[in-house]
Amino acid sequence: MLSSFIAGEPTPLLAETLLNPVVILAIGILIVVLLLMRLELPAFVALIVAAFAVGILSPDIAVPSVGPEVAGSFGEILTAIGIPILMAALIGKCLIESGAADRIVRAFHSTFGEGREGVTLLGSSYLLSIPVFFDTVFYLLAPIARSMRARTGEKMALYTAAIIGGAFAAHALVPPTPGPLAVSGELGLDLGLVIGMGLLIGVPSSIVGGLVYGRWIDDRMDIPLREALGTTAEDLKETTQKPIEKLPGTFEALLPILLAIVLIASNTISTTFLPEGSQIVTATEFLGDANIALTIAAIAAIWTFYRFEAETSDDFSDGLTSAIKDGGNIIAITAAGGAFGAMLGAAGVGDFFVSFMEGIGVGPLITAWLIAAVLIVSTGSLTVAMITSATMMAPLMGQLEVHPVYLMLTIGTGSMFFAWHNSSPFWIINEIGGLKHDETLRTFSFVGFIMSIVGLAMTLVIATIFPMA
């Protein structure tokens, strides 16, 4: 029995028990949850260990091939996302350190005016979350929200929900954030199309979750301004009142984000409307490639950082090195999640769920949403939920009757479903925002839940009207 198992020829008993796709999925998730929550191992380690375990149980992979298969899947994700994510990390670090991010927030505030602080925070969070990671955006905007609470004496729940709504939408639906970027690569999608469709679904979803629900919960829950991480309201006001003349101009602050979006979108537009091989298409295919576009945007952000904040060459170098380290951690987690998803796919989990859902009249889009929802609840990582779901669903794209971009959107909206105590942003929001656990749950977790439902409904409606197949 043991020799046949090692040779990749499972016995009937194993086929009926351990090799059942649902059991394999449950074992994989259980390993991730135990290693993350009980042993508090890094997410990368937990996901790789789970990937090996699932690979061993997979009926289509011989045990000696598990290591190479996991490594191969890991490497494929690295190739697709490595440079863009590192460049996005550099952009985010430079936006924050140079004061460009603060300038963007002030631009929103001056545009929408007093009394619309929720809109200011939502818009700032959405825009900044495109190149800046979720955790960092909240680090940046939470002090601003707390200083607004100190000034107005109210609406802390609304301000918190608004930041979360904007960050969730961009983080789940708009490249070059890691999840959407990796899913786009896995499904072979055009990044310009993904950005456009992500905005189409993300903006209304964030408004409903961040502002509509934010106002509703704010009327029912007053969050007092507590001391958080040793900072008082007076400290916060001081840090957000830097003279505007010491900040970059609005255009310069926005330039890295605009460059990334415009260059990538130009490739989509030119390849759609111009003949293949034309000089314009050749140029946009080069400049609009995610690796090139994000590198150009990063250079612009680095220049602003150098001009405004780099007092010494060591400060400049240390700041950029720190960003690359942060980006490397995100890449490792994302690629490990992809390897985990590939092993689940090899174990037949995706096929099982699609067949089961078809049997009860549910199509691939809702199936992908459900898988992502299960993974975000169980693992707490939006990025892991997205890339794992994508690698499970990618082999089944032939069954779609609509454009694959809708599959990406349902995965993205599903990954927002209900992140809770096992999610690192939950604790960041809890500590940096000065919230209690139930307050974080009613803002962070439920904003994501509402956005997930609204986003799924919008995606299904638009896919029905404009299948683009």
pLDDT at 461: 96
Six-digit token string for 72? 């191969």
pLDDT above 70 covers a percentage of the chain that reads: 87
| Cα 85 versus chain centre, distance | 11
Of 68, 143, 162, which is closest to residue 101 (Cα–Cα)?
143
Q: Answer for the pair 320, 90: CB distance below 8 angstroms, yes or no.
A: yes
Distance in angstroms (rounded) separating the CA atoms of residues 449 and 240:
31
Q: What is the pLDDT of residues 25-52, one digit of tens each?
A: 888 888 887 887 778 788 788 888 988 9
Distance (Å, rounded) from C-alpha 31 to C-alpha 325?
A: 26
Q: Which two tokens stand for residue 231?
A: 């900072």
Residues in the chain: 469
Round to whole Å and give the CA distance between 286 and 264: 10
Per the structure, how many domains does the chain have? 1
Contacts of 328 (CB under 8 A, 6+ apart): 86
Q: How many angstroms separate the CA atoms of 87 and 293, rounded?
A: 9
For residue 345, what are the domain limits?
2-465
Q: Considering the chain, what percentage of its residues have pLDDT values greater than 90?
A: 22
Q: What is the pLDDT of residues 319-375, one digit of tens each?
A: 788 878 877 877 887 788 778 877 887 777 777 777 777 677 678 899 899 989 988
Distance between CA atoms of 63 and 1, rounded to whole angstroms?
Answer: 14
Q: What is the pLDDT of residue 335?
A: 82
| pTM for the model | 0.75
pLDDT tens per residue, range 361-415: 678 899 899 989 988 887 777 888 898 889 888 888 888 889 999 999 999 999 9
Is the pLDDT score of 10 beyond 50? no
